[in-house]
Amino acid sequence: MKQKTLSNLKMPDYTVRMLENLRRIFLTKEGEGTDAEILLRSILDSATEYAIIATDLEKNIITWNKGAEKIFGYSPEEIIGKRKLSFLIPDEENKSKSAIENIQKELAHHGVWMGETLRKRKNGQNFYARIIVTRLKSKNKIIGTVAIIRDITKEKELSSKIEEYAKTLEDKVAQRTAELQKSNRLIEQEIHFAKLIQRTMLKNSIHKIPQYHCYFQYYPAKEIGGDFFTVDKIDDEHFYFYISDVSGHGIPAALLTVYAHHTIRNIIISNKIYSPGNVLRILNNLFIKENFPGAPFLTIFFCVLDLKNNTLTCASAGHPQAIFFNENESFFFGKTGKPVGVFENQEYPESLIPVKKNDNIFLYTDGLTEIFDRNGHRLFDPERLLGFLSSNNKQTDILKMLIKHIKGLRKDLSSFEDDVAILYIKRME
């Protein structure tokens, strides 16, 4: 077992020095009036925060300094010559001989004991004390003990308050964490519900066009997103369809899609407008007038299909060009203007194209050209997308084939970098 010494005990340096000086002084037997006695008196008188109590072999108290008087309340006259220290120990500890025996064993084995325990003042009040006791020897002969005692009641009270505060803080953090978890679960449920509403709305916004098939697909980057599309009827001879991308993601973007969807519907139905450029011009001014926080904007590719004349008129507000393809040709089409919500009183140029049997119109949001494979390579840019659609134009469900191709090059379809929306219109007759 490692021998305990004053130097390897964990105590303040000044306490070690005080004990060493005391031991040296007591070991000096040169009588009164020596430098050793003067030094001893100096230490005893100056250590007002420490009780320094020395006992001889008969356990008589032989020193009782000002610090001891201050801490315990007894004067030197009341203490010097007393044989036992038991009156300084609380009654409950006096009854327990094991505590005193443990100290004696430590002193017998190591010559030093250090610990924290209760002690008793003259007025009967108990207090916490930090005590260091060391044996004094002269020529390998034990001549007594010296104890340095410090009142640590305030430290204990402060430590207790800190522990209590920490426990209270811990309880509050745990309570707040539980509340946040509950709130998060509610938010997740609400977002999931909003997701179902958005998907239902998108599905219900696709209406049948005579002689045409409509295909669509939507993958939000989050639970809900800001891409949306619609296929709807103006009158028996005219249908409109569009795809749009609101800036941002999540709930704010999703709310703006609802606003834009109903605003476009009202513009067309209220005014019987057949001009895509005019629809976008009115939508842009209304959007800016709303003054939405965060200065959002949207891009949109808007088309009006004339069933009587078999023509398609379209206009774009900052959106990627549509792709037109059939067995003989494939190309981008659609002139573009500024995104909706950026500048007032914008004009949106229109493009017109005839539509024949087996012609295909492919609209998409830019998230499709921002998909990366497992190795971090971009799957499609607009030109590669055009090539893929052109080379597979005879497929009965080219959209399904496109999704299968993407799945084969990615781990999953649940974590795109951006919202992905596709609207694919094919003339069957």
74-97 pLDDT, tens digit each: 998 888 887 766 666 666 555 556
pLDDT of residue 196: 72
Q: For residue 356, what pLDDT band results from cuts at 50, 70 and 90?
A: very high
Residue 224: pLDDT over 70:
yes
Q: Are 417 and 225 in contact (CB under 8 A)?
A: no
Q: What is the pLDDT of residues 203-217, one digit of tens each?
A: 778 889 999 999 998
Residue 224, CA atoms < 13 Å, CB-side half-sphere: 25
Q: Which CATH number fits domain 196-427: 3.90.1170.30, 3.40.50.300, 3.60.10.10, 3.60.40.10?
A: 3.60.40.10
Q: Is the dihedral of CA 71, 72, 78, 82 positive or negative?
A: negative
Q: Does pTM top 0.85 for this prediction?
A: no
| pLDDT over 70, % of the chain | 82
- Containing H/E element for 209? none
pLDDT of residue 39: 59
The domain ranges of the chain are: 13-157, 196-427
SS3 content of the chain, % helix, strand, coil (to 5): 40, 25, 30
* Average pLDDT, integer, range 291-315: 94
Hey, what CATH topology would domain 13-157 get? Beta-Lactamase (3.30.450)
How many other CB atoms are there within 10 angstroms of residue 277's CB atom? 23
Q: For residue 3, what pLDDT band results from cuts at 50, 70 and 90?
A: very low
Residue 62: pLDDT over 60:
yes
